[in-house]
């Protein structure tokens, strides 16, 4: 008996649930300063799951979201601009943006940005406010 056999015997319901389903993503094209797209895997309204692809030069306007944003950069580099600072998140690194934080999200690199983001709760247009300035 190896460690994987022990795990399967301890967690058979979690590993082989009959309630598991395959989710087909919806491709959404978004026009900001340049076009980007994402694959939306969101099912319930309480959790959003997206795979985003953004070209070089892409930026969102300054936003304030009524949801938390967590994610992992799969390729490229993500820029997060706040009122008093800017940080860059590189490939294979995670990020977190708290609910209500004013931020500008952008591709800070010289290649396509690809990331996975988890939104809690899921995205709804009325949950995002857009701004021209940070103050």
Residues 51-58 have a mean pLDDT of 97
Task: Say yes or no to pLDDT of 8 above 60.
Answer: no
Global pTM value: 0.82
pLDDT over 70 at 26, yes or no: yes
12-16, 21-25, 33-37, 106-110 — which is least confidently predicted?
12-16
- The pLDDT tens digits for 83-104 are 999 999 999 999 999 999 999 9
Q: Does domain 22-131 have CATH number 2.60.120.10?
A: yes
Residue ranges of the domains in the chain?
22-131
Q: Cα(78)–Cα(57) distance, rounded to whole angstroms?
A: 11
Q: What is the mean pLDDT of residues 26-30?
A: 94
79 vs 77: CA distance, rounded Å: 7
Rg (CA), the chain: 18
């Amino acid at each position: 008996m190896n460690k994987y056999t022990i795990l399967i015997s301890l967690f058979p319901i979690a590993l082989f649930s009959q309630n598991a389903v395959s989710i087909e993503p919806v491709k959404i094209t978004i026009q900001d300063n340049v076009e980007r797209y994402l694959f939306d895997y969101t099912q319930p309204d309480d959790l959003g799951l997206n795979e985003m692809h953004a070209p070089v030069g892409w930026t969102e306007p300054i936003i304030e979201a009524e949801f938390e944003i967590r994610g992992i950069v799969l390729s490229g580099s993500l820029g997060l601009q706040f009122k008093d600072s800017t940080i860059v998140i590189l490939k294979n690194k995670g990020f977190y943006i708290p609910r209500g934080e004013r931020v500008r999200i952008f591709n800070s690199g010289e290649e396509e940005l690809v990331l996975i983001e988890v939104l809690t709760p899921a995205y709804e247009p009325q949950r995002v406010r857009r701004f021209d300035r940070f103050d």
